[in-house]
Amino acid sequence: MNVIVVGCGRVGARVATELAAQEHTVVVIDPRRTAFTRLPPTFTGKAVTGSGTEMDVLRAAGAETADMLMALTEGDNRNALAAQLGKHEFNIPRVIAKINDPIRAETYRTLGIETICRTVILADALVMSASSGAEATHGMTQAPTAEPRRDHGPAAPAGA
C-alpha cells in the first residue's frame, strides 16, 4: 500500500515508522526538515519537506498513486485541507484526518473523509477506565507497572 503521512510530529513519525516496518511504501511530508529526526535511522520511506496543503508538494509525494493519505499535523484546519485535497483533487481512495474538535470531525466525515478525534478517544478511554479499569480499554489506558510507594519519607520530628 502507498501511504502519505502529512505531519512528522510524534504521531506522524510513529505511524510512518510502523507502516514502513510492515513493508508499506510510506512518504512523510513536513515543512520542518528537523521533524524528520523523529524517524529512526532504519526508516525505509521517503521524507518530503513542504506543506501537505500544497498541490505541488502532494504531487511530489506521489499523491496520484497513493492508496491512503493520513493528515496528522497539530492543526485541524491543515489536516482538513490536506485531507480534502487528497480526497477530492487526487482521488486518493482512503483519507484519514486527525481532528481535535469533535464537531469539525463529524462535519468532515460528511465530506467523505475518515476522521480520528483524540478528544473523543481520550474521553471514551477515561470513562471506560474509570468504570471498568485500565485493562478494559485494550491498551488505550496503560495500567501502572509498579505499586506506588506507601511510605512518605521519614516522619517529621516531634514538635516541628
Closest CA to 48 of 93, 94, 3: 3
pTM of the model: 0.84
Q: Report the interhelical angle of 118-132 vs 102-109 (nearest 10°).
A: 120
Yes or no: say if 99 and 105 are a contact pair by the CB < 8 Å rule.
yes
Condensed to tens digits (0 to 9), the pLDDT of residues 67-110 reads 999 999 999 999 999 999 999 999 999 999 999 999 999 998 88
Residues 149 and 80: their CA atoms lie apart, in Å, by 46
CATH of 2-137, one of 3.40.640.10, 3.40.50.300, 3.30.300.30, 3.40.50.720: 3.40.50.720
Residue 41 makes CB contacts below 8 A (sequence gap 6+) with none
Condensed to tens digits (0 to 9), the pLDDT of residues 5-54 reads 999 999 999 999 999 999 999 999 999 999 999 999 999 999 999 999 99
